[in-house]
Structure 1
């Protein structure tokens, strides 16, 4: 079965009426490169109608594991095949939040430069948080990576009274700093 390609989307709440909780996860293969594997971080940015974060509290990652409104949380121990996961309570997402951007980035400052281009495999998945059933899996995004140290994997966004998920796969050579600039996130 092939995965959802970059740019493709799925109407989550249309496919599963009554969907309340999502788990967005990612799985990667660093090919035995432990320093690369250990320094990858899954994060989320909650964005308003202008596509930008309103404050640093809109960034969920390993040092801030829950959004201030409690709608998005990092999962302590990823389940299934995922390496890391985020849980999104759609009912708790404030009306002012139009989209939740899911990011994977390298958080290292070491002398040896590592990039996402070293990954052998990278997919993003969306699961029904109540049942654990898979809703969508992306194509392998790793072949499209090069010198980037951060990538927007996908977006959960509002659409006509419901929620959709879009596979993005957009890399940033400037890393999390480039992502932060794009989404107005103060770091």
Structure 2
């Protein structure tokens, strides 16, 4: 059953039949900006980047999965690749970027995964016609979405180019998900992960 989480909510990641969940996917879907020109409509590319920072218990960044490193050094996290445009024919319902996380392969020294979204092209979220994030319990499209964010239509995101989606963190012998969903003033991934370490790893 799908669970829609509110900001700040936390849930244990468990399989529907019981037991700890060992695999999740983070999908981001967005559209290019449509503008009127002399010869009809034209599309302005939007380059959003989904990334994951891997932190230890002291809040130190251990590894980063992003468009310049599509797989974590341990192999537990894999990025589908960089989409630099967004949908140009309206919302096709498909995720433009997907990050796959095998939780049972994450090294024991990594205690927290930071899920971050940045507008590399620096268009702020309020300019983008649609932008949504879906976090899936298992594979995307399997009806197992447990958290989503409507970034483009959230007024608190207007004027911002970075956000923290949430975090996945160890709790005893299993994993929990924390829905954060806040826009931040930082302009790039490095600064966004520093903000996460400062505000959300304690």
Structure 1 residue 69: Cα displacement: 0.8
Task: Choose 1 or 2 for highest CA Rg.
Answer: 2
Aligned to 2:132: 123
Correspondence 1:88 to 2:101: yes
How large is the RMSD of aligned CA atoms in angstroms?
A: 2.9
Distance 1:3 1:123, change over 3 A: farther
Which residue of structure 1 aligns with residue 86 of structure 2? Answer: none
Q: Name the stretch that deviates more: 90-99 or 157-166.
A: 157-166
Which consecutive residues of structure 2, in runs of 5 or more, have no partner in the other structure?
Answer: 36-42, 84-92, 198-202
Query: Match of 1:32, SS?
Result: strand
TM-score, length-scaled by structure 1: 0.78
Q: Residues 133-175 of structure 1: CA distance to partner in whole angstroms, max 9, x if unpaired?
A: 3141324243120221111111111113211122211222222
Pair 1:107 & 2:120 matched? yes
Q: Distance in 2 between matches of 1:2 and 1:119?
A: 26
Structure 2 equivalent of residue 168 of structure 1 = 180
Using the size of structure 2 for normalisation, the TM-score is 0.73
* Contact 1:46-1:100 at 8 Å conserved across structures: yes
How many pairs align?
176
CA spacing shift, 1:32–1:5, aligned 2, 3 Å: farther
Instruction: Give the superposition deviation at 1:61.
Output: 0.8
Asked whether the equivalents of residues 123 and 137 of structure 1 are also in contact (C-alpha less than 8 Å), the reply is no
